[in-house]
């Protein structure tokens, strides 16, 4: 049985990926520092799959911690989620973001180099493209100067991984996510934003739940059909399954270069107002919102061309936007009390 390390495995995308790994028969060990997740997620993963992953609460910013882990564990592959991910916060605290997102990546790659560990899946983001010149966005789209230190850590991270693969004959795949949303069908795991949600969907569900007074829609003067910005919202379970497909590609040595990257989205763009209307329809909840000024750093539109990911990963999305929005609402309701 292959043993896979999932860093950040108690987080939103990480926990859903752990469930899918276990469903596929992989043995999973999680490293998480609990800075943006809760230990209860570990038990909830076990409630879904019947298997409790091994767990280490470790801060990956310490090289000693990383070495200690690998002294104790034989690993066949790594899926690396652990990182700070708030775009706005990264502008206020760039050094925290570079120390954590880049530092921990380097320490992990050094252990892979020194112990001949192969098969690395990196959590990247469509944010590396900035405002793409053409839509939908293909993997050939140029990488634009990052709009935030967070986005820069994803761009720099990919470069570090590419150079490491070339120099040390390692194999890695970077998955460039669009906008992950929703929750597992069991409603036992989902998004757990700490504090005021930065992302749209948790803010929507918290507004519908009465936790937030009103949703602010950041701008309705974009060059889009209804003036609000367009994104590619992908169900988190579909996104999790893309990680399994990418890992299997490396384990089966089907990769064509030692560093590959794929856009992981639905291929469909939805505006903020379309999201609001769909949410109200599928949940029968009325959303209180107002239009306010644009948010700094937002792009007008971003949605994926999924051709390459579909072909090379033998993966495609199976869930609809309505499935994702309804699961997000059911998850929010399960958080009461
Ligand atoms: C979506 C749309 C907002 C909140 C970012 C990162 C990306 C990934 C996902 C980490 C935009 C609008 C939002 C609100 C709003 N992060 N919005 N009111 O900015 O596309 O992507 O988060 O992995 O890397 O770049 O996602 O959910 O913040 O915003 O109107 O209260 O919703 O303006 O158009 P974004 P988002």
328 close to ligand 1 (CB < 6 Angstrom): no
Cα separation, 101 vs 83, whole angstroms: 5
200 close to ligand 1 (CB < 6 Angstrom): yes
List the residue whose alpha carbon is closest to atom 30 of ligand 1: 217
Whole-angstrom CA distances from 48 to 22, 32, 41, 299, 323 are 10, 19, 11, 37, 19
Q: What pLDDT is attached to residue 23?
A: 98
Q: What pLDDT is attached to residue 154?
A: 97
Q: Please answer whether residues 29 and 54 qualify as being in contact, where contact means their C-beta atoms are separated by less than 8 angstroms.
A: yes
Q: Which of 12, 298, 304 to mutate to test the pocket of ligand 1 (most atoms within 8 A of CB)?
A: 298
Active site includes 150?
A: yes
DSSP state of 34: S
Taking the CA of residue 228 as reference, the ligand 1 atom at the shortest distance is 34
Q: Is 153 helix (H, G, I), strand (E, B) or coil?
A: helix
pTM above 0.95, yes or no: yes
Q: Which two tokens stand for residue 248?
A: 């299997």
Give the distance (Å) from ligand 1 centre to CA of residue 246.
Answer: 25
List the residue whose alpha carbon is closest to atom 18 of ligand 1: 217
List the residue whose alpha carbon is closest to atom 9 of ligand 1: 179
CATH superfamily, with its number, for domain 3-183+233-265+307-317: NAD(P)-binding Rossmann-like Domain (3.40.50.720)
Q: Please answer whether residues 243 and 20 qualify as being in contact, where contact means their C-beta atoms are separated by less than 8 angstroms.
A: yes
127 close to ligand 1 (CB < 6 Angstrom): yes
Whole-angstrom CA distances from 216 to 101, 106, 195 are 30, 38, 16
Neighbouring residues of 64: CB distance < 8 A, sequence distance ≥ 6: none
Q: Which two tokens stand for residue 54?
A: 């091994």
Measured on CA atoms in the order 41, 215, 125, 179, is the torsion positive or negative? positive
199 close to ligand 1 (CB < 6 Angstrom): yes
Whole-angstrom CA distances from 9 to 4, 14, 39 are 11, 4, 11
List the residue whose alpha carbon is closest to atom 23 of ligand 1: 85
Q: Which two tokens stand for residue 32?
A: 């998480």
Cα separation, 89 vs 194, whole angstroms: 13
333 close to ligand 1 (CB < 6 Angstrom): no
Instruction: Give the HSE-up count for residue 195: Cα atoms under 13 Å, Cβ half-sphere.
Output: 5
Spell out the per-residue pLDDT of the chain, length 337, in tens. Answer: 999 999 999 999 999 999 999 999 999 999 999 999 999 999 999 999 999 999 999 999 999 999 999 999 999 999 999 999 998 899 999 999 999 999 999 999 999 999 999 999 999 999 999 999 999 999 999 999 998 999 999 999 999 999 999 999 999 999 999 999 999 999 999 999 989 999 999 999 999 999 999 999 999 999 999 999 999 999 999 999 999 999 999 999 999 999 999 999 999 999 999 999 999 999 999 999 999 999 988 999 999 999 999 999 999 999 999 999 999 999 999 998 6
Q: Which of 202, 231, 328 to mutate to test the pocket of ligand 1 (most atoms within 8 A of CB)?
A: 231
Catalytic option among 107, 150, 222, 303: 150
Cα separation, 327 vs 319, whole angstroms: 11
Cα separation, 256 vs 58, whole angstroms: 34
Q: What pLDDT is attached to residue 197?
A: 95
Helices (H), the chain: 12-23, 40-49, 63-72, 87-92, 94-97, 103-114, 149-168, 200-208, 236-251, 272-283, 307-313, 321-334
Instruction: Give the HSE-up count for residue 279: Cα atoms under 13 Å, Cβ half-sphere.
Output: 31
Q: What pLDDT is attached to residue 19?
A: 98
List the residue whose alpha carbon is closest to atom 27 of ligand 1: 199
Q: Which two tokens stand for residue 284?
A: 């029968």
203 close to ligand 1 (CB < 6 Angstrom): yes
Taking the CA of residue 151 as reference, the ligand 1 atom at the shortest distance is 24
Q: Is 66 helix (H, G, I), strand (E, B) or coil?
A: helix
218 close to ligand 1 (CB < 6 Angstrom): yes
For the chain, domain boundaries: 3-183+233-265+307-317
Residue with tokens 């997740």: 37
Q: What pLDDT is attached to residue 253?
A: 98
Cα separation, 304 vs 309, whole angstroms: 10
Cα separation, 255 vs 276, whole angstroms: 40
Cα separation, 25 vs 152, whole angstroms: 35
275 close to ligand 1 (CB < 6 Angstrom): no
Q: What pLDDT is attached to residue 337?
A: 63
Residue with tokens 């900035």: 130
């Amino acid at each position: 049985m292959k043993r896979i390390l999932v860093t950040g495995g108690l987080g939103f995308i990480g926990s859903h990926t752990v469930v899918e790994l276990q469903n596929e028969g992989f043995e999973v060990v999680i490293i998480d520092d609990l800075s943006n997740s809760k230990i209860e997620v570990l038990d909830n993963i076990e409630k879904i799959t019947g298997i409790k992953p091994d767990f280490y609460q470790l801060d990956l910013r310490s090289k000693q911690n990383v070495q200690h882990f690998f002294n104790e564990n034989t690993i066949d592959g790594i899926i690396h989620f652990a990182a700070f991910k708030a775009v706005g916060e990264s502008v206020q605290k760039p050094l925290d973001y570079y120390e954590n997102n880049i530092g921990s990546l380097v320490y992990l790659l050094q252990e892979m180099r020194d112990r001949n560990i192969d098969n690395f899946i990196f959590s990247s983001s469509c944010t590396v493209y900035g405002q793409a010149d053409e839509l939908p966005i293909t993997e050939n789209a140029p990488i634009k100067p990052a709009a935030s230190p967070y986005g820069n850590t994803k761009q720099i991270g990919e470069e570090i991984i590419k150079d490491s693969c070339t120099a040390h004959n390692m194999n890695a795949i970077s998955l460039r996510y669009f906008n992950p949303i929703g929750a597992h069908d069991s409603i036992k795991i989902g998004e757990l934003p700490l504090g005021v949600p930065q992302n749209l969907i948790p803010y929507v569900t918290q507004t519908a739940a009465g936790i937030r007074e009103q949703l602010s829609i950041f701008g309705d003067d974009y060059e889009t059909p209804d003036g609000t910005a367009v994104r590619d919202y992908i169900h988190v379970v579909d996104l999790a399954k893309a990680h399994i497909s990418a890992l299997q590609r490396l384990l089966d040595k089907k990769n064509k270069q030692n560093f590959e990257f794929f856009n992981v989205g639905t291929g469909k763009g939805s505006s903020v107002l379309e999201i609001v209307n769909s949410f109200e329809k599928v949940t029968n909840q009325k959303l209180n919102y107002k239009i306010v000024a644009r948010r700094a750093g937002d792009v007008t539109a971003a949605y994926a061309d999924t051709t390459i990911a579909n072909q090379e990963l033998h993966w495609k999305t199976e869930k609809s936007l309505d499935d994702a929005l309804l699961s997000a609402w059911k998850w929010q309701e399960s958080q009461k009390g």
